[in-house]
Structure 1
Amino acid sequence: MRAQIDSERCQGHGRCYDLAPDLFGDDDEGYGTVLGDGVVPEGREPDARLAASNCPERAIDLLEEG
């Protein structure tokens, strides 16, 4: 699974990095960012889904790989 944040939709609520701080962070203006290369480590998929489902703007996309 790979996570990405649509910067056009993100409004900086911060729920992603509050719920999954090892997967998501914030930039200098408080908008969400994906940490690393966006690959969600095995076993962390539930946390990525929780963060995505709690985003009020639905700015987090989770892409299933292969």
Structure 2
Amino acid sequence: MKVSVIRARCEGHGLCEDAAPDLFRVDDDGELVSLFDEEQPVPEEFRDQAVKAVRVCPIAALSVTDRPA
């Protein structure tokens, strides 16, 4: 699974950080920081967090793409 971030859309609400603390942080300037390499698949152990983060984003700045194993 890959999580894509549309940074221009992100408004820094921080709901993704609450939903996926192992994957995201919002810095002091309100900018989203990925705690994983966005070019690589999200580790399987964080799959539930990633899906939840996408669901709670109020402006749809995140999306998930499933990739075959």
TM-score bin, normalised by smaller chain: 0.7 to 0.9
Contact 1:13/1:31 (CA < 8 Å) preserved in 2? no
Name the residue aligned to 1:7: 7
Residues matched between the structures, number: 66
Task: Report the identity percentage.
Answer: 39
Amino acid at match of 1:6: I
- Is this contact kept in 1: 2:6–2:62, CA < 8 A? yes
Say whether 1:55 aligns with 2:57.
yes
Correspondences of 1:1-66 after superposition (within 5 Å) = 1-38=1-38, 39-66=41-68
Give the Å deviation of 1:24: 0.9
Runs of 4+ that moved beyond 6 A:
none
Q: TM-score, normalised by structure 2?
A: 0.79
Tell me the distance in 2 between the aligned counterparts of 1:32 and 1:50: 16
Whose helix fraction is larger, Structure 1's or Structure 2's?
Answer: 2
* CA deviation string 1:8-61 (max 9, x = no partner): 110000011111111112244122232221331113212111111000001001
Aligned-residue CA RMSD in angstroms? Answer: 1.5
Question: Hey, what's the Cα distance between the residues in 1 that align with 2:13 and 2:49?
Answer: 17
Structure 2: 5+ residue stretches without partners: none
Distance 2:20 2:37 in 1: 15
